[in-house]
């Protein structure tokens, strides 16, 4: 039996899972969970994988223990170990959609499609499990928490996203290739787009806390103003981005919050700034990180105050050329040649699948979920984001193809 004959029946079977995948996706959408607090979602995923006779590992991750992996060992002989990944966490956004599956958790919403990513990968897992006798090698299904952010490790205090926590658990050991899909409402349903090299930037987060000495406005010489330290930091960091980053390279830094002071006539004892910076080259990320540390430390020293920093460095999502060809081939088989395209330029948004791709060849692609005729046009991370659920079978088919094609 050749590859086409081997996969045609698999693709047909995946199509029969539409209603089941919609039920799964809507249940997850109604019960969104944040960052590492994904116990319900992880239990549903693990229970389903076990029901399909897939070898399951729960509580994956040495720091937080919230991930799930499933391993399917093919029965058609030796072959590669393929990793397929989905993320499980939602966002702190209040949903404004009036749909039967609207979020039941106030202020939390699956506004980035992770409910769909999980459902698509479950569809691929069920399909591949049914046809394991035709699979060479093995498939590792990875369901990851905390893609949307990071938390401080209870073990060593580092800010870690879910991908890094799971990688430190060894999920990439022995893996030959890895893939992930992400919904994109800017692309119409039934299409797939992929970047040939850089796909997304390294998104890095920072939190800076200055501590001074409080005092009355009538005697500023007896105080150390934490608010002034913060404003100096903003000015000097903007200078860092203007003068120390190669102007031909895409990089951006923006502040998100600034909090300081307790009263109109009291010099602030504390201030805190948060923000993000985004770039592609590792050297640029390192240069900005070092600049933040140097500037903050210098300002605190000169003022006579102190500083605490929390910095989480990101990493760019960089697709491997050969794996781009593989994922495009799989998508063409599922969607049709005219429905698959390359994308340019890369996005300055971030995605921690970059940590996987930094260690194992693979590719990260965008599957279209927009449908203007049905009013499904809102971007991710917006309170009215939704998706055309026909992508659930499409994504499951593409992921299953990636697991079996040469």
Does 63 carry a binding-site annotation?
no
Please report, for residues 50, 194, 232, 321, 391, the alpha-carbon distance to residue 324 in angstroms, rounded to integers and kept in the order given: 31, 7, 45, 5, 20
Is 182 flagged in the annotation as binding? yes
Task: Find out whether 50 is annotated in a ligand binding site.
Answer: no
> What's the CA gap between 382 and 255, in Å, rounded?
20
CB atoms within 10 A of CB 256: 11
Phi, psi of 357 (to 5 degrees): -70, -20
In order of 149, 226, 253, 290, 299, the CA distances from 273 in angstroms are 17, 11, 13, 17, 14
**Strand ranges for 108-228 from DSSP E:** 138-144, 151-152, 159-160, 177-188, 192-195, 198-211, 215-216
Nearest to 351 by CA among 217, 200, 205: 200
Check the annotation: does 381 bind a ligand. Answer: yes
DSSP-based three-state secondary structure for 23? helix
Cα maximum dimension of the chain: 88
- Give the integer Cα–Cα distance in Å for 336 and 191: 9
Q: Is 114 annotated as a binding residue?
A: yes
Binding residues are: 112, 114, 148, 182, 381
Q: What residues are designated binding site for Mn(2+)?
A: 112, 114, 148, 182, 381
């Amino acid at each position: 039996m050749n590859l086409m004959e081997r996969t045609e029946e698999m693709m047909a079977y995946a199509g029969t899972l539409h209603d089941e995948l919609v039920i799964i996706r809507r249940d997850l959408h109604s019960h969104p969970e944040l960052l590492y607090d994904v116990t319900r979602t992880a239990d549903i995923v693990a229970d389903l994988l076990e029901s399909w006779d897939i070898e399951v590992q729960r509580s994956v991750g040495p720091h937080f223990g919230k991930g799930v992996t499933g391993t399917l060992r093919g029965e058609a002989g030796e072959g590669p170990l393929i990793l397929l990944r989905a993320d499980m966490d939602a966002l702190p956004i209040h949903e404004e959609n009036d749909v039967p599956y609207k979020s039941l958790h106030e202020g939390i919403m699956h506004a980035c499609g992770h409910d769909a990513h999980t459902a698509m990968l479950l569809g691929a897992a069920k399909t591949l499990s049914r046809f394991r006798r035709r699979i060479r090698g093995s498939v590792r299904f990875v369901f990851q928490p905390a893609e949307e952010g990071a938390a401080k490790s209870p073990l060593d205090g580092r800010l870690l996203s879910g991908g890094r926590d799971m990688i430190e658990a060894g999920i990439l050991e022995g893996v030959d290739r890895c893939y992930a899909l992400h919904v994109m409402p800017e692309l119409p349903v039934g299409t797939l787009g992929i970047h040939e090299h850089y796909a997304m930037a390294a998104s890095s987060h920072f939190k800076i806390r200055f501590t001074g000495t409080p005092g009355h406005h009538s005697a500023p010489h007896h105080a150390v103003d934490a608010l002034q330290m913060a404003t100096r930091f903003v000015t000097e960091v903007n200078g860092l981005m203007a003068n120390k980053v190669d102007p031909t390279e895409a990089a951006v830094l923006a502040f998100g919050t600034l909090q300081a002071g307790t009263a109109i006539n009291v010099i602030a004892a504390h201030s805190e700034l948060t923000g993000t910076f985004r770039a592609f080259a590792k050297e640029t990320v390192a240069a900005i990180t070092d600049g933040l540390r140097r500037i903050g430390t210098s300002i605190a020293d000169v003022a006579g105050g102190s500083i605490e920093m929390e910095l989480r460095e990101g990493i760019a999502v960089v697709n491997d050329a050969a794996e781009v060809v593989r994922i495009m081939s799989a998508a063409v088989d599922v969607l049709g040649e005219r429905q698959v395209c390359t994308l340019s330029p890369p996005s300055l948004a971030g995605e921690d699948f970059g940590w996987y791709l930094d260690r194992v060849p693979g590719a990260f692609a965008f599957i279209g979920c927009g449908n203007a005729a049905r009013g499904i046009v809102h971007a991710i991370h917006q309170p009215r984001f939704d998706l055309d659920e026909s992508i659930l079978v499409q994504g499951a088919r593409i992921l299953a193809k990636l697991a079996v094609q040469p």
